[in-house]
């Protein structure tokens, strides 16, 4: 097992990528605290993690609030005695129909900034001491690929670019502590995945939309010892949209 007995905090453990990363990590032996503000979604994630044989705790709360992050860190310590890996999937606000700044309400801008960048800061600040106590660890942020960032509204593009800037800056600063900080640029993860277990998706090849499992396997690599010399990296998982220079027409059949 590639994550046997590793302790993982997953923020944004609701559905899609936020569901299948915890399920795959459970299959690989991780112990996890699952945080989401969507109670029903995170309970379903926990059910699938249980089926995969993974030990977990569920915490319902808003990751933009310092007290919620503090509770998550306390839960990690109380339940598992330490922390090895943080996976941050908090975000949203794609809304491509808000095309330009002139059409973008200030409220929408503020929500995108708060919901995406504030948890980034809070999670990293709270997790750093626990990861350092273990002699190092991993912080992984899940963002959006270039063409996806460009097709979203300006607020979405700005905060997703911000994820990468924060990743690279903190990777440099946490290097002396042996804490690796990486980022996944996910494409359009729009194809449903409804199995009870995370397994590689090969049917449909590059022509299909992505699934949460596609991102989960990339996350597994970056969080495992196989990537022990990888930090400050941005791994694109988008089925080739970026190399084509535009979002491709795809099928989810």
Question: What residue numbers bound the domain in which 194 lies?
Answer: 7-244
Residue 97 lies inside a defined structural domain of this protein: yes
Residue 1 lies inside a defined structural domain of this protein: no
Count of structural domains within the chain: 1
pLDDT recorded at residue 6:
98
Q: What is the pLDDT of residues 21-75, one digit of tens each?
A: 999 999 999 999 999 999 999 999 999 999 999 999 999 999 999 999 999 999 9
Report which of residues 100 and 183 the model is more confident about: 183
pLDDT recorded at residue 20:
98
% residues pLDDT > 70 (the chain) = 95
In this predicted structure, the answer to whether residue 82 has a pLDDT above a threshold of 70 is yes
pLDDT recorded at residue 101:
86
Q: What is the pLDDT of residues 130-186, one digit of tens each?
A: 999 999 999 999 999 998 888 888 999 999 999 999 999 999 999 999 999 999 999
Residue 250 lies inside a defined structural domain of this protein: no
Residue 2 lies inside a defined structural domain of this protein: no
Q: What is the pLDDT of residues 182-229, one digit of tens each?
A: 999 999 999 999 899 999 999 999 999 999 999 999 999 999 999 999
pLDDT recorded at residue 151:
83
pLDDT recorded at residue 253:
57
Instruction: Let me know how long the chain is.
Output: 253
Average pLDDT of the residues in 234-250: 86
CATH number at residue 236: 3.40.50.720
pLDDT bucket at 244, cuts 50 / 70 / 90: confident
Residue 252 lies inside a defined structural domain of this protein: no
Q: How far apart are CA 243 and CA 224, in angstroms?
A: 27
Residue 150 lies inside a defined structural domain of this protein: yes
């Amino acid at each position: 097992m590639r994550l046997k007995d590793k302790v993982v905090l997953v923020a944004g453990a609701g559905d899609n990528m936020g569901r299948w990363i915890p399920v795959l990590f459970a299959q690989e032996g991780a112990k996890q605290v699952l945080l989401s503000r969507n109670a029903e979604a995170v309970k379903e994630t926990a059910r699938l993690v249980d089926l995969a044989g993974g030990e977990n705790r569920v915490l319902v709360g808003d990751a933009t609030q310092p007290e919620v992050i503090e509770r998550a860190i306390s839960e990690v310590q109380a339940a598992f005695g330490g922390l090895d890996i943080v996976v941050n999937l908090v975000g949203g606000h794609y809304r491509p129909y808000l095309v330009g700044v002139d059409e973008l309400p200030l409220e929408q801008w503020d929500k995108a900034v708060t919901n995406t960048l504030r948890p980034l800061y809070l999670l990293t600040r709270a997790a750093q001491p626990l990861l350092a106590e273990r002699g190092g660890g991993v912080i992984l942020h899940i963002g959006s690929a270039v063409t996806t960032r460009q097709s979203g509204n300006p607020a979405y593009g700005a905060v997703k670019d911000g994820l990468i800037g924060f990743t690279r800056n903190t990777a440099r600063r946490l290097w002396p502590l042996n804490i690796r900080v990486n980022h996944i640029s996910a494409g359009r993860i729009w194809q449903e995945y409804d199995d009870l277990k995370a397994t590689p998706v090969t049917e449909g090849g590059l022509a299909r939309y992505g699934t949460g499992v596609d991102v989960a396997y990339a996350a597994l690599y970056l969080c495992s010892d196989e990537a022990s010399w990888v930090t400050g990296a941005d791994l694109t998982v988008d089925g080739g949209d970026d190399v084509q220079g535009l979002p491709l027409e795809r099928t989810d059949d």
